[in-house]
Amino acid sequence: MISDVVKTAEQRMAKTIDATRHDYATIRTGRANPAMLEKLMVDYYGSNMPVNQLANISVPEPRTLLIAPWDKSVIPLIEKAIQKSELGIPPSSDGTVIRLNIPQLTEERRKEFIKQLHKKAEEHRVSVRNIRRDINEELKKQEKEDKASEDEIKRAQEQIQKITDKYIAEIDSITKAKEAELLEV
């Protein structure tokens, strides 16, 4: 029973790591990455839709994103959404596709992205800690219901703490790698 709780904790924390990687992919560096547009919502016939459901997004060159909408009438809507977004990249359209030329990052913009990165890193660390708290509460509940001894609970809590430390260290290492990527000129 306790081993199941520990496995659950590890699985939930691993999902947090996946979410961290996914979240960091949306922070733009000097390179084009389709993940930059994942959170971009387009007002399409009164409902907000992700741009990747309205168009094909590709990277023909290292600093260019190409957005090819399936319905050409949506091009002005996508352009409007890009201009309103915090991407800071002006779209250029030829009537059939939209090109986003990723400019070189300025020092000020890099620092802004690093602040954003650290904020997201802290959110993910808190998420891991919340999982630890939930699991520890579950263990205490098992102890009160006499499903496990006090010693077993202590050992499980120590194990959960080691797993928590491991995943927080992994978040830190992913953050450092992304920070190095952002600082790369």
Q: Which CATH number, 2.20.25.90, 1.10.132.20, 3.30.70.380, 3.20.20.70, labels domain 2-26+106-183? A: 1.10.132.20
User: What confidence score (pLDDT) does residue 126 get?
Assistant: 95
Instruction: Write down the H helix ranges in 29-149.
Output: 75-84, 107-144
Which ranges constitute the DSSP H helices of the chain? Answer: 2-25, 75-84, 107-144, 150-183
Q: Using the structure block, give the residue that is written with the tokens 């359209």.
A: 93
Q: What is the pLDDT of residue 25?
A: 79
pTM of the model: 0.71
What ranges do the domains of the chain cover? Answer: 2-26+106-183, 34-101
- The whole-number pLDDT of residue 185 equals 62
Q: What integer pLDDT is reported at residue 99 of this predicted model?
A: 92
**Per-residue pLDDT in tens (0 to 9) along the chain, 185 residues:** 788 888 999 999 999 999 998 888 777 667 778 888 888 888 888 888 888 888 999 998 888 889 999 888 899 999 988 888 877 788 888 888 999 888 877 888 888 888 989 999 999 999 999 999 999 999 888 888 888 888 888 999 999 999 999 999 999 999 999 888 888 76
Dihedral (CA of 7, 9, 10, 15) sign: positive
34-101 belongs to CATH 3.30.1360.40: yes
